[in-house]
Amino acid sequence: MLKETFLLDDLPKLQPDQVGLAVLGHPIKHSISPEIHTAALKVLADSSEEFSRWSYHKIEVEPASLAKALPILADHGYRGLNLTIPHKVDVLPHLSLMDEQARIMGAVNTLSWENGAWKGYNTDGIGLSKAIEDAFTISLKEFQVIVLGAGGAARAAVAQCIFEGCEKVAIYNRSIDRAQLLSSALKENELNQEVLLLESFLNPFAGSKEPVLIINATSLGLKSEDPSPVDLTQVDGNFYVYDMVYNPAVTRLMTEAKKKSYPVANGLGMLVGQAARSLEIWSGREVSIEAMSEAARAAISR
């Protein structure tokens, strides 16, 4: 039985009949992806014995080591990888194969070893869309959206909003230059819908009757001492708040939103949704959302 978390330098080679899956990040300690995937793999193994030889781990990979890590992981028997902060955009120059939607998004969160090379996918957008509808009983396309952040998670969020037909989308990031780079990158990748770039946090849709969804796609909230990425006391509106952070289960942003009676949800539903799609890509099988969700809730409660 392999341990759950590795550094790249202490990663053992798997046996020929084993299949390794992993999430790569820096930091990676907070991730509960192994618990989620292991639960679904157990269900798959009940109907097909081959999946009893599949395992999922956390691997700490610093940004400077990502290019080196990919061939090492393939050589050691890994066939499926999830990528989290800060690798979702940094991995792009190292891929020769990419799913069309991931190419347009300009960010990758899933790698699959196919025909002797890593192929990039993005399952974040699908996971986000389903999680929002499950949490608020309102589909993503019915919202006007403010995305906080300008990294890989924000790219996926903005792109998914455009894919699904959200009429109005805005980006707020502490660095307006990074927000402009994100907007430009999406246009270069054929997403030509105009996206508002906010130099300060405000409600650009004030006066509209449509609900406004705030999506936190920054890493602020991963630590319990983190401040909220925005000051909700400075704005008013028909807001809903979706925080991609799932651990801790309640972030400062969510606490502030609750004080103003805004509906809130954390990123657990998105995590499960994107994880399920990733495992479907790797296994070619339908996976148990129920098992994954139960495992995620149990991991968070611990």
Active site residues: 88
Q: Which residues, 6+ apart, have CB-to-CB distance to 296 below 8 Å?
A: 32, 35, 36, 246, 268, 271, 272
DSSP letter at 231? -
Q: What percent of the residues of the chain are helix, what percent strand, and what percent coil, each to the nearest 5?
A: 45, 20, 35
Q: Which residues, 6+ apart, have CB-to-CB distance to 56 below 8 Å?
A: 20, 21, 22, 23, 33, 34, 37, 38, 41
Q: How many residues does the chain have?
A: 302
* E strand residue ranges, 106-244: 110-114, 117-121, 144-148, 169-172, 196-198, 212-216, 239-243
Measured CA angle at 30 (ends 99, 285), to 5 deg: 40
Query: How many of the other CB atoms lie within 10 Å of CB of 133?
Result: 15
What's at 43, amino acid-wise? V
Distance CA 152, CA 90 (A): 9
Phi and psi dihedrals of 57, rounded to 5?
-135, 170
Distance CA 270, CA 72 (A): 29
CB 236 within 8 A of CB 261: no
CB 164 within 8 A of CB 129: yes
